[in-house]
């Protein structure tokens, strides 16, 4: 990046807001780059091992809280919000999702992952916004990020008024809940900083109470090692035995803390068709998805964020969800499909298949799915935004 330059900040920011809205973003804000106050929490979170096997979190160290070290010359960060509920999402979507998470035979995929990969959507539109700005003022130093670098995105979004950090550690907005993506443009322009939003969680603990695995160990503190999103997406290790029943029908991510949040009654529909539901992922069954071979998986998840976990991890997750179904309700077709596909599942997934088949004879009372009482007592630290 080049050295700091001066611009007609207020006028330029107003135009940026208009351009961002035209590009599909609901809101933008501008944050300064002094994130020193966030460093103690980040350091403590890493030292507690709450990042699990995400070694890159520790490898980046404090660079995550130091934008000018990540991109030299940065003086401001433009943070942008894009809503992602599918355009045809019904009014009773929260109730519908709650019913599905433990329904036998269902395969539940986190809402954000049922459409196009948000990395691609946001990155191209943020770059378009930067290009439009360059056409207006001339070349300037910038980098666009969408979950692609060590960026404290929730901290930045909170500082510039896009919302506040909820007790589940996600960004919350009064007019949009938490069902939105964040992206950033690091710039060498001295744009005016926008005012932060005040917090509005009050005494509510709905997200903590709803977490199936007790991963939200305290307000604003998450142990990723217990989080279903981490277990099904980030971790390549076997899913811990004691946590498998809590996954229920979830095979990719988890929305429970968001479904429980009262602010999500204001969640907005996406302005773009990119996040419309893919037919294969709208209301899939475990039996249908288990029938996919690797070639089918790659074809059906092309352009989807799901593809990054790979077929083996996908089969691992399906096996656990199938085991939870078989514990609640005997399903001979599902059991037969699991047994027939065990050898093709790969060594790691095969162990989960064996576990799943063993659940067929387990008493239904053994299920802990959806029970926050399985939470453990863990020393808590602030979770960084990722």
Provide the strand spans (E) within the chain: 27-31, 76-83, 108-109, 142-145, 164-165, 171-172, 180-187, 216-218, 221-222, 250-252
Spatial separation of the C-alpha atoms in residues 366 and 328, rounded to whole Å = 9
Spatial separation of the C-alpha atoms in residues 253 and 228, rounded to whole Å = 6
Spatial separation of the C-alpha atoms in residues 30 and 162, rounded to whole Å = 9
Active site residue 175: no
Residue 256 assigned as binding residue: no
CB count in 10 Å sphere of residue 53: 14
Residue of 32, 34, 131, 147 marked catalytic: 147
Spatial separation of the C-alpha atoms in residues 232 and 236, rounded to whole Å = 8
Residue 211 assigned as binding residue: yes
Spatial separation of the C-alpha atoms in residues 153 and 160, rounded to whole Å = 11
Contact predicate 1/141, CB 8 Å: yes
End-to-end CA distance of the chain: 24
Residue 343 assigned as binding residue: no
Residue 261 assigned as binding residue: yes
Residue 221 assigned as binding residue: no
Residue 160 assigned as binding residue: no
Residue 207 assigned as binding residue: yes
Spatial separation of the C-alpha atoms in residues 122 and 24, rounded to whole Å = 9
Buried/exposed code over 1-29 (b: 16+ C-beta within 10 A; e: otherwise):
beeeeebeeeebbeebeebbeebbbbbbb
Residue 254 assigned as binding residue: yes
Residue 255 assigned as binding residue: yes
Binding site for [4Fe-4S] cluster, residues? 201, 204, 207, 211, 227, 254, 257, 261
Annotated binding site for cob(II)alamin: 64, 147, 182, 229, 254-255
Q: Which residues are catalytic?
A: 147
Binding residues: 64, 147, 182, 201, 204, 207, 211, 227, 229, 254-255, 257, 261
């Amino acid at each position: 990046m080049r050295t700091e330059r001066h611009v007609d900040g207020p006028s330029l920011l107003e135009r940026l807001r208009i351009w961002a809205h035209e590009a599909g973003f609901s809101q933008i804000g501008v944050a300064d780059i002094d994130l020193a106050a966030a460093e103690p929490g980040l350091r403590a979170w890493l030292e507690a091992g709450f990042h699990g096997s995400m070694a890159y979190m520790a490898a980046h160290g404090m660079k995550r809280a130091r934008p000018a070290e990540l991109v030299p010359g940065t003086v401001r960060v433009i943070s942008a919000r894009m809503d992602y509920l599918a355009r045809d999402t019904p009014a009773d979507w929260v109730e519908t999702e709650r019913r599905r998470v433990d329904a036998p035979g269902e395969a539940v995929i986190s809402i954000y992952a049922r459409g196009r990969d948000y990395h691609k959507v946001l990155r191209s539109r943020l770059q378009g916004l930067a290009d439009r700005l360059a056409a207006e003022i001339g070349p300037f130093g910038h980098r666009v990020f969408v979950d692609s670098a060590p960026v404290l995105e929730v901290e930045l979004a909170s500082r510039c008024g896009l919302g506040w950090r909820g007790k589940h550690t996600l960004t919350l907005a009064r007019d949009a809940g938490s069902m939105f993506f964040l992206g950033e443009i690091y710039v060498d322009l001295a744009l005016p900083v926008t005012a932060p939003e005040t917090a509005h969680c009050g005494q509510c603990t709905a997200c903590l109470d709803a977490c199936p695995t007790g991963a939200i160990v305290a307000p604003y503190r998450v142990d990723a090692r217990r989080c279903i999103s981490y277990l099904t997406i980030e971790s390549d290790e076997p899913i811990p035995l004691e946590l498998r029943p809590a996954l229920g029908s979830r095979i990719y991510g988890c929305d429970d803390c968001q479904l429980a949040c009262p602010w999500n009654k204001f969640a907005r529909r996406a302005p773009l068709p990119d996040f419309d539901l893919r037919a294969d992922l709208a209301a899939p069954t475990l039996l249908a998805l288990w029938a996919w071979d690797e070639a089918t998986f790659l074809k059906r998840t092309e352009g989807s964020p799901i593809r990054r976990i790979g077929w083996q991890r996908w089969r691992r997750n399906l096996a656990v969800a199938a085991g939870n179904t078989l514990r609640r309700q005997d399903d001979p077709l599902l059991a037969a499909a699991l047994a027939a596909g065990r050898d093709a599942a790969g060594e790691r997934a095969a162990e989960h298949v064996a576990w799943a088949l063993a659940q067929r004879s387990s008493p239904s009372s053994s299920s802990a799915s959806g029970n926050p009482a399985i939470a453990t007592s863990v020393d808590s630290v602030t979770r960084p935004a990722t």
